[in-house]
Chains A and B, each alone.
Chain A
Amino acid sequence: MELYTLTAHELLEKIHKKEISPADVVRSLQDRIREVDPKVKAYVRADKLSCRDSIVCYPCKDEQNPQGFLKGLPISLKDNICTKGINTECCSRILEGFQPPYDATVVKKLKAAGGAIFSLKTNMDEFAFGSSCENSAFGPTRNPWDIERVPGGSSGGSAAAVAAGTAVWALGSDTGGSIRQPASFCAVVGLKPTYGRVSRNGLIAFASSLDQIGPFTKDVTDSALLMKAIAGHDPSDSTSLDAPVPDYTAALTGDIKGLKIGVPKEYFSQGLDAEVKVIIDAAVDKLRGLGAVLAEVSLPHTEYAVPVYYIVATAEASSNLARFDGVQYGLRSSQGGNLIDMYKRTRGEGFGQEAKRRILLGTFVLSHGYYDAYYLRAQKVRTLIKNDFDQVFKQFDCLVTPVSPTPAFKLGEKIEDPLKMYLSDICTISANLAGVPAISLPCGFTKAGLPVGLQIMARPFGEETIFRVAHTYEQNTDWHKRKPKL
């Protein structure tokens, strides 16, 4: 049994029994990266590091006897999570060469829990703007299940690395589905925690009222373990909440008898691929068979989620990305001119097409004369979407839906039509707008062998309910055990 195929909890057990050392895991990953990453391209800047250097930051000096419950297991990080002295470029030309002077809070927490940090970062759409990983300045990542298809986005590299066995587990970020959609396309488990559950300090900001960091793992147990390491209050992020972190692994009881699960009808309307619908319906039946009580519910404002998102998220992005101006870090245009010329040329040269599109849209909806008609209206409709969730969670413990209306699409299929690309987030965006936690877990494959993910959403801080349902489903199915042939 190759070590790169094992889950983190299986590896932790072997390390605990002293059957293997973390260095053995690292070697197995390095070999696997050499073997398949040239095809998958889940990692960026891989050519700039020799393989031996691709692991850094052991939590203690003694590699054979690591401290902390993560026991020296390496964790792969998306290219927008700051790592001190290690390139963090958001896969954008404008941040070329940026080496953060500090570690993100999640990185500090991982190290404190005994995790090792992989210095190769995972690929993403530039600044997390995209649903396919095609907007990366380093070129696209490929889906390990079919290399002609996208891995999803924006955290496509993290999802593909876990699926391809080139990462034990990984972190990504989710602003409108950027963890869940790629997790569903690649048949791995991806969790977007409750807004404020995980510190965003050191996550390069996209849309501050929506962004959350979360885990990509091979199964639900690993997801619960990794959440235990990264969740919690952080004085450096005023939006992180001061609520105790439960032992998420204790929620993995395998019992969902009597749990009330809602199935929102709006997520099954037009645009849902017929094969995906059959697979999701079967998953719903499975949960019923396991003793949960399922009923159809309505989230009546769902149709407004995508337009609200593309106003709120782009408005916040236009403001957050104002800091990339050629003064403090990254690229500065060599074309000269005065200060304003320098800003404009640097940003014109440094940002890719999707970044420009979103900054312009965000600037427009916030500009004089349009603010009320767009931004303010969107924030009001957002309240209606949030109220929909509050209403159903009075009666239901969680909701199940598809993650994406279609399985992974082909490279180039949607890249020329931004609106079509935006609509691929139609099932995931609402959870960000409402701040609720949501997971994607493998629940089947199409006839062509493409993975399909099931989304489970719960009320704020309902991660334990999500883990309980997801784990019970996983224990009674074997989708998560299938591996892509590479």
Chain B
Amino acid sequence: MAIDDLTVGYVAHLARIELQPKELERLSRQLQGILDFIDKLKCADIRGVNPTSHVLAVHNIFRDDTAGLSLPAEDVLENAPQRQGDFYAVPKVIE
């Protein structure tokens, strides 16, 4: 399939990545090449084949529903680019 700058721009919005105009142009071209290659999969006969959900015969894994130890908040928040007390601080969400 053909992918244009508009589609790549929309996908970049979905992925929350700001692209410079030059990047957008280059990435569109490269993604087109990769998608053309991937199109090879159309030749595979997948009638009646189930999609892989796990490569080994493993199903749901359960554990006891008991509380474990959590990491200390101070250790975790140490890495925050910006914090207020025990919270992550972000730009205003509601105007």
Q: A interface vs B, CB < 8 Å?
A: 97-99, 101-102, 194-196, 209, 235, 238-239, 241, 301, 303-304, 306-308, 310-311, 318, 322, 325-332, 336-345, 347-349, 351, 353, 356-357, 359-361, 363-364, 367, 374, 376-384, 386, 418-419, 422, 433-435, 460
Contact A101 B76 (CB under 8 A): yes
Docked pose: A101 CA to B76 CA in angstroms: 6
Closest to B52 in A: A382
Chain A facing B: main interface SS: helix
Bound Cα distance from A344 to B45, whole angstroms: 40
Contact check: which of A194, A349, A360, A422 meets B8 at CB < 8 Å?
A: A360
Interface residues in B1-33 (C-beta closer than 8 Å to A): 3, 7-8, 11-20, 23, 27, 30-31, 33
Number of residue pairs spanning A and B whose beta carbons lie under 8 angstroms apart:
163
- Beyond A331-B81, A360-B27, 20 additional pairs, beta carbon < 8 A: A102-B71, A194-B56, A196-B56, A209-B54, A241-B58, A311-B41, A318-B15, A329-B81, A344-B13, A347-B15, A357-B31, A359-B15, A359-B17, A363-B14, A364-B11, A364-B31, A380-B46, A381-B44, A384-B49, A418-B30
With a cutoff of 8 Å between Cβ atoms, the chain B residues found around residue A364 in the complex are 3, 7, 11, 31
* Chain B interface residues (CB < 8 Å from chain A): 3, 7-8, 11-20, 23, 27, 30-31, 33-34, 37-38, 40-42, 44, 46, 49-56, 58, 61, 63, 71-72, 75-76, 78-82, 88, 90-93, 95
Give A226 Cβ to nearest chain B Cβ, in Å.
Answer: 23
- B14, B38, B52, B56: the one within 8 Å of A460 (CB): B56
Q: Which residue of B lies closest to A460 (CB)?
A: B56
In the bound complex, CA of A353 to CA of B25 (Å): 13
Q: A347-B17, A379-B51, A435-B56 are in contact. Are A101 and B44 (CB under 8 A)?
A: no
A196 to B49 Cα, complex, angstroms: 24
Interface pairs (14), CB distance under 8 Å: A196-B56, A304-B41, A308-B41, A329-B81, A332-B81, A337-B91, A359-B15, A363-B15, A378-B41, A379-B51, A380-B46, A381-B46, A384-B46, A422-B34
Q: Tell me if B's interface is mostly helix, strand, loop or mixed.
A: loop
Tell me, in angstroms, the Cα distance from A339 to B56 when the chains sit together.
Answer: 41
| Chain A, residue nearest B43 (CB) | A304
Whether the pair A383, B58 counts as a contact (CB closer than 8 A) is no
Asked whether A338 lies within 8 Å of B92 as measured between CB atoms, the reply is yes
Residues of B within 8 Å of A337, CB to CB, are: 91
Interface pair A195/B55, CB less than 8 Å apart: yes
Docked-complex contact B79 and A325, CB < 8 angstroms: no
Once the chains bind, are B81 and A327 in contact (CB under 8 Å)? yes
Which residues of chain B come closer than 8 Å to A353, judged between CB atoms? 23
Residue of B whose beta carbon sits closest to that of A95: B79
Within 8 Å CB of A194, what residues of B?
56
| Chain B residues, Cβ within 8 Å of A338 | 91-93, 95
Among A97, A101, A341, A347, the one with the most B-chain Cβ atoms within 10 Å of its Cβ is: A101
Do B11 and A330 touch (CB < 8 A)? Answer: no
Whether A386 touches B55, Cβ cut-off 8 Å, given contacts A329-B80, A360-B17, is yes
